[in-house]
Amino acid sequence: MMKRKSRTDAGYAEAEATESRRIVQEQQSLLRLTTEGPSNIDSKDFCGAFAALGLDNSWDSKAFKKDFKIDIKTLTDEHVVFDMIGIDPPLVNAFRRVLIAEVPTVAISRVTIHQNTSVIHDENFAHRLGLVPIKFEPDLLESRHEEADFTDQDSVLFKLHAKCPQGQKQLSVYSRDLRWTELSVHQREQLKEAPPAPVDGDILLAQLAPGQEIECDCYCEKGIGKDHAKWSPVCTAFYKLHPVIRFEKDIVGKDAEDLKRCCPMEVFDVEDVPQLGKRAVVRNARNCTTCRECLETFPGQEKGLFLGKAKNHFIFSIESVGQIPAPELFERALIKFKEKCQTAKENVSHRRGAATK
Ligand code: SF4
């Protein structure tokens, strides 16, 4: 009699532990959206946090390599969208930041204005020129020291000369009017196959009235977005957590129709089920913008709708300005990130070495 009771207790304890582990795992991987706001947003990522439950949450490179996945959804030179699965938010955010601020490009950084009789001020005109995206491989240039002169090793030169003739109503000056001018014979030979040029020739720079004239030299150099946004290679680089939408109980009949109607992003649909009639189903969870309309007006929370986000599944989007194709941008960001990790590792080793001396 005693033995039987003990086995039952052991089984009960085991079932309780399994349920606790399931709850913890769900809390680790999902945040929940409620009418009061998001809940369960943090992740307990210090190892040993759940040791009492027999759950090992320490970071493991082998498990990461096994579980990490990239699933490409859109792939063009201008735009890439992909899912990153099995990765922590700080890492994804690091890639985003490297993309925006640390992948180098080439942009106009010094403008010498010889003549400007137009209505646009020299400073404003120079600023507009700086924002013209230039298509040119940044690795072909060395980084210029702040105080140093521009040379054929670290810069390329565009000249611009436009004058509106008397008798003409007006003259529009576009980015296509920037003419690349070699800084040396060596540079002419080196770049003659793929000379630098604006990404788009139709960027309006100024408008001249009859008799007005602009003449300037524009020196371009390599830089990064951290120094000035004109060097940032991306229009946008952002991610969002993948929505997780499910029903904790069936939503049927008029409720199903109401739920479908209340979502502006067409996330839900209604299907006919024998014996049950109309039942709500999730059709396009990816479309969800987390507006929470379904929680507030439907109201979903009371009717068994679970709205959440996966904390380790990211929808990542990169839009290139045009200097570097979007798929290549991500590769360059990864290389940059690896270099940064290497530098950090060397610094730590160096300090550790110094501390043990
Ligand atoms: S949060 Fe907004 S977009 Fe998402 S399912 Fe609800 S209503 Fe639709």
**In sequence order, which residues have a C-beta less than 8 Å from that of residue 269 and are 6 or more positions away?**
260, 280, 281, 282, 283
- Rounded CA-CA distance 225/254 in Å is 52
> Does the pLDDT at position 18 exceed 80?
no
Establish if 192 belongs to a structural domain: yes
Taking a C-beta distance cutoff of 8 angstroms, is the pair 310, 289 a contact?
no
Q: List pLDDT tens digits, range 216-243.
A: 999 999 999 999 999 999 999 999 999 9
Establish if 142 belongs to a structural domain: yes
Instruction: State if residue 258 touches ligand 1 by the CB under 6 angstroms criterion.
Output: no
Supply the pLDDT for residue 53: 67
- Rounded CA-CA distance 295/355 in Å is 56
- Rounded CA-CA distance 54/34 in Å is 30
> Domain tally for the chain?
1
Establish if 74 belongs to a structural domain: no
Establish if 83 belongs to a structural domain: no
Confidence of residue 49 (pLDDT cuts 50, 70, 90): low
**Cα within 13 Å of Cα(74), Cβ side:** 12
> Does the pLDDT at position 19 exceed 90?
no
As a whole number, mean pLDDT of residues 100-115 equals: 97
Q: List pLDDT tens digits, range 255-268.
A: 999 999 999 999 99
As a whole number, mean pLDDT of residues 49-58 equals: 69
- Rounded CA-CA distance 288/241 in Å is 10
Supply the pLDDT for residue 47: 65
Residue nearest to atom 2 of ligand 1 (CA): 291
Which of 259, 281, 282, 289 best tests ligand 1's pocket when mutated (most atoms within 8 Å of CB)?
289
Confidence of residue 350 (pLDDT cuts 50, 70, 90): confident
Q: List pLDDT tens digits, range 181-210.
A: 999 999 999 999 989 999 999 999 999 999
Residue nearest to atom 5 of ligand 1 (CA): 288
Residue nearest to atom 4 of ligand 1 (CA): 288
Residue type (1 letter), 29: S
Q: In which domain, by residue range, is 165 found?
A: 106-228
Supply the pLDDT for residue 1: 46
Q: What is the CATH number of the domain that holds 197?
A: 2.170.120.12
Establish if 311 belongs to a structural domain: no
CA of 198 from ligand 1 middle (Å) equals: 41
pTM of the model: 0.84
> Does the pLDDT at position 2 exceed 70?
no
Instruction: State if residue 55 touches ligand 1 by the CB under 6 angstroms criterion.
Output: no
Establish if 31 belongs to a structural domain: no
Confidence of residue 6 (pLDDT cuts 50, 70, 90): low
